[in-house]
Amino acid sequence: MVRPAGASGLGSILLHVDAGAASAVRLDVARALAARHGGCVTALFGAVADDDPGYAYSAGAALDSAGARAWREAVVGHLQRAAKQPALASERWFHVAGDSVAHGFVAEAPYADLLVLGQQAPGERLPGGAPAGFVETVILEGGRPALVVPADAPGAAIGRRALVAWNGSVPAARALAGALVLLRAAESVHVATWSRHPAAAPFSGLGILEHLRRHGVEATLHHRGATAQVGEELAALAAALGCDLVVMGGYGHSRAREWLLGGTTRSWLQRMPVPVLMAH
């Protein structure tokens, strides 16, 4: 039975789509999550163009000529046909363009429970895709948990087997809180830590497994020794466990227009072996 919208904690999913082929995968993921958790999808189409004037977009300008509208409608129509999951009755579509893509998406983010983004290596800018640094900007500035979906994601099902990277930090805690609704519905949940001693609350001694249990999530702990290769070990563990979702903190900060990300965060955004839910 479908729950009332918002009952599961995913009342509103904000999705970014562009002219890239992977947008259809993200649309399927967002629709499947919304259908599973009784939520709604708001899709924001935002792209920057190459040098072809037929795109009718340019950096720093949100052009809305007849050619731009026709191109946008054609892209969205193709995207809708390429998607495998049926459209939702509550689904809504909007448009932002040029350098306003990140700003517009971040402005909309506080009204969503989950953001769904596509894989984008730091600094990458593809014709018809999001502006360079879009994903990093949203993770660091959006203030909401962000699910980043690989370009080659095999399907819409995400979160059946989840792996949480835990170190007791604020970003990790925010990512975990944002993922709880997915973890409660998961078939299995694993938690991995890399330290000499398992992370626990300093005064109460509350461990991560008991914390999850209080929120209706049973999990298995994988305690590893401290290492500088957390990203590589996390990917290997996710593969060994057959996980289709990794939950981790997004580490970094902004300096002017330059986004600085931690090594583990950067490696996951570049390689993306499985979808990752991040929060900063």
Q: What is the pTM of this model?
A: 0.86
At 120 the pLDDT is 82
Domain co-membership, 269 together with 184: yes
Domain co-membership, 192 together with 110: no
Domain co-membership, 145 together with 22: yes
Between the ranges 5-9, 125-129, 176-180, where is the mean pLDDT highest?
176-180
Six-digit token string for 140: 């660091």
Domain co-membership, 128 together with 177: no
Domain co-membership, 86 together with 211: no
Domain co-membership, 183 together with 63: no
At 227 the pLDDT is 74
Domain co-membership, 100 together with 30: yes
Report the range of poorest mean pLDDT among 42-51, 200-209, 234-243.
42-51
Tell which of 117, 149, 181 closes a domain. 149
Question: In this structure, is residue 105 part of a structural domain?
Answer: yes
Looking at residue 145, which CATH number applies to its domain? 3.40.50.620
The answer for residues whose C-beta is within 8 angstroms of residue 232's C-beta and 6 or more apart is 267
Q: How many domains does the chain have?
A: 2
Q: Which is higher by pLDDT, 38 or 132?
A: 38
C-alpha distances out from residue 266 to 77, 123, 239, 271, Å: 33, 11, 19, 9
Per-residue pLDDT for 199 more than 90?
no
At 252 the pLDDT is 52
pLDDT average, residue stretch 115-144: 82
Question: In this structure, is residue 7 part of a structural domain?
Answer: no
At 124 the pLDDT is 59
Domain co-membership, 133 together with 166: no
Tell which of 116, 149, 182 closes a domain. 149
At 123 the pLDDT is 56
How far is residue 93's CA from residue 28's CA, in Å, rounded to a whole number?
15
At 116 the pLDDT is 98
Give the CA dihedral 224, 135, 104, 24, nearest 10 degrees. -110
Q: Which is higher by pLDDT, 251 or 191?
A: 191
Domain that holds residue 124: 12-149
